[in-house]
Structure 1
């Protein structure tokens, strides 16, 4: 019999300090009127050896930001620039969050605990540094759903209501406030490199390249380090774009400061899940040109990777960087096939056959207007129902017959009548119960349902 998994040990780190204070500013967390625990991700806490904390200790560390032992003793607001809707902005940085702690997880990865809504920093500009409770609830729901659907994402670690009334111009105000803590595989953004390129700081650029390769990719620096880093980021971000498509997810704000060089998805604002395979579907009401529409996300992420390549010209010749960047399309085609076949619960065959099948499925989803979640629910295991609702899928049904299932439909999730979805109407309904009656039952039930789906997809 296989040994039972052992709880992760708490292993604190302070590796960010190796970079030096040119990369961050020490800041003080906000002092909140109250701290009410609303979400505690015990599963994530177990992965980093913090599941033993009492609720009182949890509130002390993640609501009042008393330092964890052995890691950062002062929060750090990280410095970066970035393109925001293709306009370069050198005035940004961690404006309502900071790096609170670093530690190792049960996969021996270097992880960050970062915040959102923890108060003002030198980069807040005219913002209050706070997060609405609705924004925190939405991020928990997004990250739980994406994790279940196989997307490499930051994890919502903690959500604490903070007792302040916030004014927001784009939603009913005053509204309730919160502070969120994320568990992420690093917080180094493409925009972190862009800032150094903007300042022509080759010395710190080289230091950052070596830091990322050593701590996130287990490779030495030096030599062709810049090109090797870009290859990792191109491969990873292609996989990220593919996973968004298979999940039917629209991030909404794929600015270069929102792309992590570990290619882990994070920073959720106006996200949505697309009801149907509509390439023009957008998440942000202010994305008037559809720059970050569902079908344009691979293009947008590729463009962001190109900004990293441009920044790395401070250290490397153009030819190896161009070669690395040109690999994005091939990496994406393989990754999107793998992601869609994984969600269908079948094993890949060969790249050409898999790609042909995926193109057939995408065409059928577009033409038939079949809900994305409904299709993947009904066809899991590789058998598309032979019903009038799936008339557009005749070619896909025939092609899938040659694929081997990687999982059965024995899990109780597959015996239900409806797939687990996360469309905007349900998100709003969950929030309305919290806002109107402080009723968290629908939120808690949804998190449980998402995790049940995730277990069925494994």
Structure 2
């Protein structure tokens, strides 16, 4: 379809005033189109040649609304760093509406669109730095086959926005099947708006669990919790396998659909450090990389508590007990793929755990090691792998490779086909923070070529792209542990 044929519906805004507030976006005076996402155009069913339509500059900053748009600031609450905050909501974003495509519907959410009733003391704006980080992060995870929100376009401006320093303002249009968060359910539960809570539950079930839509409310709530527990467990398993740290897993940043949601101070691992903290505001390490499974379960407990108005504690507990086995099964499947194992053995978890301990002890680069392992064919010495570890850890590597060789022999199969599968499971390119910073610094000077290059590489991160080797390199020491704030 052409851009002129796009019409939005507004399913969520139609739920009523209890769910949020209509707000007109505050546009930029001189918007500047930076990038349009061809993959998201395809997802939305918009013609590929619309990528060059100059109208995106105005659409992407709210100066021009698509037909049917009903800009709406959603109200929700949530637990932030474990503490309930009643004063949350869309403070710098507006739900424009949804583009319906047969069985699928995609919501468009304008971020950086100015103040809303939920902005508290904020200005409702976003900066170019944070906008680029979110834009690239959605593509990075999508390219790795991990469920995530994505973004349709970035629009920049010369408008100054005050964060730690004065930065240029920008906006993006986030695209998701739903923007309903755990915090939406918490809001109606804690304010005792139980009719609205039931309405929200019915809305989500009708859209995403149609088999439960006509069930009694207690059964709807159980079906939704089963669904969200399973999808969240699979999501976190994917993050852990690829080395992604979200950075701020508050309940208001958790999607009811189990999608990666609300990118801020995220980070992909460089050295394999289980206690890695990517958010410089996380002083206790609550959201450290190794803590993500436990925090996700904590958040699911908070969601379950918000459904306790409809479901008894035993049934809620039964739903929550599904998390751990789902997580372990999904993580084990992904790690077997990274190790090139076709069949499952009881010893596989130990083999994987021993390797991760070795990588942690050696402070080895997580992505580079697994990529090198994908090329391994039993050679001795395993020079490509040894080069990634300090000499003091070479004996431990040889000991692990001995067990790995035995496991591969039991698995059988052709080494070439195994290597091909491992190359598809172990990316060469990930969105390291130092790479994102390189792109941001160029963009702030008006050079968007690094953005386009990295965006393209993240579409197919497991391909070789030999002309772009520098984008696959480990960071310099100065590029590790970069301080990333929530304002990012």
CA distance in 2, matches of 1:86, 1:253: 11
| 1:343 positional shift | 4.5
> RMSD of the TM alignment (CA)?
2.8
Of residues 196, 210, 229, the one that matches 2:202 is 210
Aligned residues: 440
CA distance in 1, matches of 2:210, 2:43: 20
Instruction: Indicate yes or no: 2:371 matched with 1:363.
Output: no
CA contact (8 A) 1:276 1:371 kept: yes
Q: Which runs of no fewer than 5 residues in structure 1 stay unpaired?
A: 1-5
Find the counterpart in structure 2 of residue 185 from structure 1: 177
Find the counterpart in structure 2 of residue 110 from structure 1: 105
Find the counterpart in structure 1 of residue 95 from structure 2: 99
Instruction: Indicate yes or no: 2:20 matched with 1:27.
Output: no
CA distance in 1, matches of 2:269, 2:180: 29
Relative distance call for 1:335 and 1:381 in structure 2 (3 A) is: farther
CA distance in 1, matches of 2:127, 2:428: 29
Measured against aligned partners, the alpha-carbon deviations of 1:109-131 in whole angstroms (never above 9, x if no partner) come to 32211121111100001111001
CA distance in 2, matches of 1:42, 1:234: 32
Q: So what's the TM-score if we normalise by structure 1? A: 0.88
Of residues 116, 124, 144, the one that matches 1:149 is 144
CA contact (8 A) 2:150 2:176 kept: yes
CA distance in 2, matches of 1:403, 1:82: 50
Find the counterpart in structure 1 of residue 433 from structure 2: 424
Find the counterpart in structure 2 of residue 453 from structure 1: 461
Of residues 292, 301, 304, the one that matches 1:297 is 292
> 1:387-398, aligned counterparts within 5 Å?
387=382, 389-390=385-386, 391=394, 392=397, 393-394=400-401, 395-398=403-406
> 1:220-369, aligned counterparts within 5 Å?
220-221=212-213, 222-223=215-216, 224-344=219-339, 346=340, 348-350=342-344, 352=346, 354-369=348-363
Find the counterpart in structure 1 of residue 59 from structure 2: 61
Find the counterpart in structure 2 of residue 78 from structure 1: 74
Q: So what's the TM-score if we normalise by structure 2? A: 0.83
Relative distance call for 1:397 and 1:21 in structure 2 (3 A) is: farther
CA distance in 2, matches of 1:44, 1:361: 37
CA contact (8 A) 1:378 1:385 kept: no
CA contact (8 A) 2:428 2:463 kept: no
CA distance in 2, matches of 1:10, 1:408: 45
Please say which of residues 357-366 and 182-191 is displaced more in the overlay: 357-366
Measured against aligned partners, the alpha-carbon deviations of 1:217-236 in whole angstroms (never above 9, x if no partner) come to 33333321111110111111
Measured against aligned partners, the alpha-carbon deviations of 1:19-70 in whole angstroms (never above 9, x if no partner) come to 222112100101212111111101111111223535222223222353323x
Q: Which runs of no fewer than 5 residues in structure 2 stay unpaired?
A: 387-393, 466-488
| 1:400 positional shift | 4.0
| 1:208 positional shift | 1.2
Find the counterpart in structure 2 of residue 3 from structure 1: none
